Amino acid sequence: MTGPLEIVGDTDAPSCAGGVCEIPATDEADPADR
Amino acid sequence: MNNSVKVDIWSDIACPWCFIGKRRFETAAAEFAATGGELEVEYHSFELAPDTPVDFEGSEIDFLVSHKGMPAGQVEQMLGQMTQLATTEGLSYDFAALQHTNTVKAHELLHFAKAKGRQLDMSERLFAAYFEEGRHVGRVDDLADLAAEIGLDRDEALEALTSSTYLPAVDADKAQAIAYGISGVPFFVIDGRLGVSGAQEPSTFVEVLRQAADDAEVPA
């Protein structure tokens, strides 16, 4: 049905799996840092 | 010149990173379009917690503590950080008002909306209803109300949800996710061959979209 995907982009980008979501470290969560 | 790219997005309504990722992708899509790119976007179903009851009694904190075994203090801190992150994307998450529920019927509604050519509007309405407005997105009557709010026929939506007309389409999406090896969301599949996991920064999405468009121009 599908071929293998070539994974691209930032492999550390946050996501949710199994009902639990990754949260970046607090300093990364600071809007002033974005 | 072929600048047309197809993007298939696996996500769950109950996924805070999916709404944030949606905003970041939309920012990238606007930039891509501004440089002549064309996008076709389609949402697909992924259930993060299919064991969740429709009428879960308790808060989001209660759910994560009771179902995932996380300490309450850690959950409170996590949701606070997520709320802060959401504001940077212009989103007003309200976890205190959020009504945790099973999302399979919401996914069926997304497929109903797709059949009517309104899937993107339905997706936006469902995310906002769940994360910002404290609306229930698990009961068929509440979902039919949301369908009507974007101009879809309420009775037709209610009939589709009650009869589970689009449940096979939801199951097909879930099977496709397994075939791709998708274990977390949001997950973006570009032209059926590039996989992008998570709520990437807009600049990363733009790079990937341009890469896909450039690849499509290479003669066979």
**Eight-state DSSP code of residue B59:** -
B63: domain CATH number? Answer: 3.40.30.10
Q: At what angle do helices B72-87 and B60-68 cross, to 10 degrees?
A: 130
* Shortest CA distance from B19: residue in chain A: A15
Q: Given a cut of 80, is residue B124 above it in pLDDT?
A: yes
pLDDT per residue as tens digits for the range B24-59: 999 999 999 999 999 999 999 999 999 999 998 888
Strand boundaries in chain B, DSSP class E: 4-11, 38-45, 187-190, 194-197
Condensed to tens digits (0 to 9), the pLDDT of residues B181-201 reads 999 999 999 999 999 999 999
The average confidence (pLDDT) of chain B is 95
Residue-wise pLDDT for A1-34, tens only, equals: 466 899 999 999 999 998 788 876 554 444 433 3
Residues of chain B with C-beta less than 8 angstroms from the C-beta of A32: none
Which residue of A lies nearest to B179 if distances are taken between CA atoms? A2
- d(CA B20, nearest CA chain A) in Å: 10
Provide the domain limits for residue B172.
4-217
* pLDDT for position B6: 97
Low-confidence winner among A18-32, B106-120, B130-144, B186-200 (lowest mean pLDDT):
A18-32
Check if the beta carbon of residue B180 is closer than 8 Å to that of residue B8. Answer: no
* B140 has pLDDT over 90: yes
Model pLDDT, residue B59:
87
Interface of B with A in 65-124 (CB under 8 A): 67-68, 70, 78, 81-82, 84-85, 87-88
